[in-house]
Amino acid sequence: MRTTLTLDSDVARQLQATVRRRKVSLKSAVNQALRIGLAMDAAPKESRPFRVKVHRSGLLPGFDPHRLNQLADELEDEAVLSRIRAS
């Protein structure tokens, strides 16, 4: 079938790059691109919903999980102070 298409400039550049890279004709590159695009549209891929596995963190009461960086800083400060005092 013969038809005339007006391509956007970015699409034309991509097609020309494909023609040069794969060393195929423009007709072949256009047909292959259309087949891939139409196949994607015709049969949407079904995906399973993402599920997160829940696990217990084991945090002790009194520890705020949103302030763990502060806790790490305090523990590091205590370690530095105890090294200084031991010297």
Model pLDDT for residues 57-69, shown as the tens digit of each residue: 777 777 777 888 8
Model pLDDT for residues 34-56, shown as the tens digit of each residue: 999 888 877 667 888 889 988 77
Token output for 1:
């079938």
Cβ contacts of residue 19 below 8 Å, gap of 6+? 25, 26, 29
